[in-house]
Structure 1
Amino acid sequence: MSAIPTYDAEQLAGMLAILPDVDSVELKLTVPDDFQRSAVRLLGIDPLDAVLRQVVFVDTPDLRLSSAGVVLRARRTQHKPGDLAVKLRPAMPAEVPKGFRDHQGFKVELDASPAGYTCSCSLTVEAPDRLVRKLMIGTRGVRGLLDDDQRTLLDERLPDGVGPDDLVVLGPINLLKTRFRVKGYRRRMVAELWVLPDGSRILELSTKAPPEEAFQAAAETKALLAGKGLDLGAPQETKTRSALAALTVPESERTAGDAAHDEG
């Protein structure tokens, strides 16, 4: 899950410098497509424990928010309220706008994977499912669903020339999420399976730890997953980046790709 011990000296120094100021550390690993079924079986993941979710991103058609380090996301969860999040990534703890650390729903988190690490801050606010659904089907705008602090956080990082009228809803993407435990491993793990518009799938395994336990958690998790035969050196892909790339593929290319797949 995490290759923290193989980070170079500069990476380790950077991580150690910010760990005391983050709220949590999330260790992540994406599993190659050809090993996903085996990973589910070897880790004892029961698909029937999974909860269905829908996710959309709000950005310009050419992803100018994402390019500026801003992720605006809305999410529906089966049998639960929806939520909206404004995430700044990367964002070091020292860059957190004044007054936000005490806001309920705000967090500063360090994500670590075999590919490296990044620090982000996000503000997530619950919203009625019916309103989030209206956003997803295009009958309600996103700005009215954000609270005042989220709008402030968003406005501070909006690229020049981008306004509310330039934003579009990208998605939805359907995914399954389940929490599970592995015998002999004390931390709870999470598995998320994202199904992208082109039919490809991303399986991400993750676990969280407080900052002071980050290296211990990384060592324990690495030993567990390596012992199960998972390739910790496999190419890594982030869910958000892959989803945005898939959602902004021109329709002509997507149709051509589907046709080629059908012919195959």
Structure 2
Amino acid sequence: MSVTSEETPTRLTDAQVGEMLALARDADSVELKLTVPDSHRRQTAVALGVDPLDAQIRQVYFFDTPDLALNAVGVVVRARRVQGRGDDSVVKLRPVVPADVQAERTSDNLVVEVDAMPGGFVCSASMKGALGPKAVKQVAAGSKRIRSLFSKEQRQFYAAHAPDGVALDDLSTLGPITVFKLKLRPLELSTRLVAEVWFYPDGSRIVELSAKAVPSEAFQAAAELRAFLAAKGLDVSGEQQTKTKTALEFFAAELTAAQPAAGPG
């Protein structure tokens, strides 16, 4: 169902390509992703003509237990504050086979997408929701409950896939992560290119480039993107990092370290 590039070469085998095509046929979209090694970050910014003053600022909050019980079963619960826009939230399930969420696909708010990156791919199902501009800030401040960020259908989606006995209001707040998002429109590409920089509290960063395509055009778009980046002298064969996993592990470790030690029995 999924392959991670930490375990595989940067090229998919024929069998993996076949599996990804089967998933993509039943998906709503394919997102092509790659992370840029930090050592190449400045070179990438120059090559793509990135101007940080054009970036949209976001704050991303995750919700999970201190031992990441949701992550262990492939459930991601997230909310975002977005500069100049209302907040939003999502309950995401990954990896997933599209047929497993067929009942929920009657909702316009459920999106099934295949993320493809060098050496790997994963299919996810995201139940999305729109919020007002202060909703996430109020929850982060503790004045409203976590469940207030999620619609009825999001709560139902969560209940169907989360571990038994773990309610939304039982979760810990993990974050925020500050994110700069830039939309680029290179003349050489038929699709828009998005650059995101995730700033972690320890000073580390992950830079991700992505482009979306309809499933029938995914391989053409991937070849076009690869050729474009190669022409810019950018290496796309490095080890890929996962933004969400990195954030969850960082904040979970922080939570565990902050818990008081058990007293003598």
- State the TM-score, normalizing by the size of structure 2: 0.90
What is the one-letter code of the residue matched to 1:124?
A: K
Written as runs of structure 1 = structure 2, the 5 A alignment for 1:71-220 is 71-98=76-103, 100-220=104-224
What is the one-letter code of the residue matched to 1:224?
A: F
Deviation at 1:138, TM superposition (A): 2.4
- Secondary structure at the counterpart of residue 129 of structure 1: coil
- Secondary structure at the counterpart of residue 105 of structure 2: coil
What is the one-letter code of the residue matched to 2:214?
A: P
What is the one-letter code of the residue matched to 1:60?
A: T
8 Å CA contact retained: 2:182, 2:196: yes
What is the one-letter code of the residue matched to 2:92?
A: K
Aligned counterpart, 1:257: none
* Residues 109-136 of structure 1: CA deviation (Å, up to 9, x unaligned): 0000003000000011101121211112
What is the one-letter code of the residue matched to 1:218?
A: A
| Bigger shift: residues 129-138 or 77-86 | 129-138
Aligned counterpart, 2:53: 48
8 Å CA contact retained: 1:197, 1:247: no
Point out 4+ residue stretches in structure 1 off by more than 4 angstroms: 2-5, 251-254
Return the alpha-carbon distance in structure 1 between the equivalents of residues 203 and 209 of structure 2.
20
What is the one-letter code of the residue matched to 1:62?
A: D
Aligned counterpart, 1:260: none
* Residues 74-108 of structure 1: CA deviation (Å, up to 9, x unaligned): 0010111001100001111111151x223222100
Aligned counterpart, 1:262: none
Structure 2 unaligned segments of length 5 or more: list them.
259-265
Q: 2:34 aligns with which of 29, 33, 54?
A: 29
Aligned counterpart, 2:262: none
Return the alpha-carbon distance in structure 1 between the equivalents of residues 222 and 74 of structure 2.
26
Aligned residues: 252
Q: 1:20 aligns with which of 25, 29, 34?
A: 25
Deviation at 1:147, TM superposition (A): 1.0
Relative to structure 1, the CA distance from residue 64 to residue 126 in structure 2 (aligned partners, 3 Å threshold; closer, same or farther) is: same
Deviation at 1:164, TM superposition (A): 3.6
CA-based RMSD of the aligned residues comes to 2.0
| Bigger shift: residues 159-168 or 76-85 | 159-168
Return the alpha-carbon distance in structure 2 between the equivalents of residues 120 and 185 of structure 1.
26
- Secondary structure at the counterpart of residue 14 of structure 1: helix
- State the TM-score, normalizing by the size of structure 1: 0.90
Return the alpha-carbon distance in structure 2 between the equivalents of residues 153 and 19 of structure 1.
22
8 Å CA contact retained: 2:88, 2:129: yes
Return the alpha-carbon distance in structure 1 between the equivalents of residues 147 and 40 of structure 2.
40
Deviation at 1:191, TM superposition (A): 0.4
Return the alpha-carbon distance in structure 2 between the equivalents of residues 35 and 21 of structure 1.
35
Structure 1 unaligned segments of length 5 or more: list them.
255-264
Relative to structure 1, the CA distance from residue 83 to residue 251 in structure 2 (aligned partners, 3 Å threshold; closer, same or farther) is: closer
Aligned counterpart, 1:57: 62
Return the alpha-carbon distance in structure 2 between the equivalents of residues 52 and 103 of structure 1.
29
Return the alpha-carbon distance in structure 2 between the equivalents of residues 4 and 104 of structure 1.
36
Return the alpha-carbon distance in structure 2 between the equivalents of residues 119 and 32 of structure 1.
24
Return the alpha-carbon distance in structure 2 between the equivalents of residues 58 and 252 of structure 1.
15
8 Å CA contact retained: 1:44, 1:182: no
Identity %: 47
Deviation at 1:252, TM superposition (A): 8.9
8 Å CA contact retained: 2:56, 2:82: yes
| Bigger shift: residues 172-181 or 5-14 | 5-14
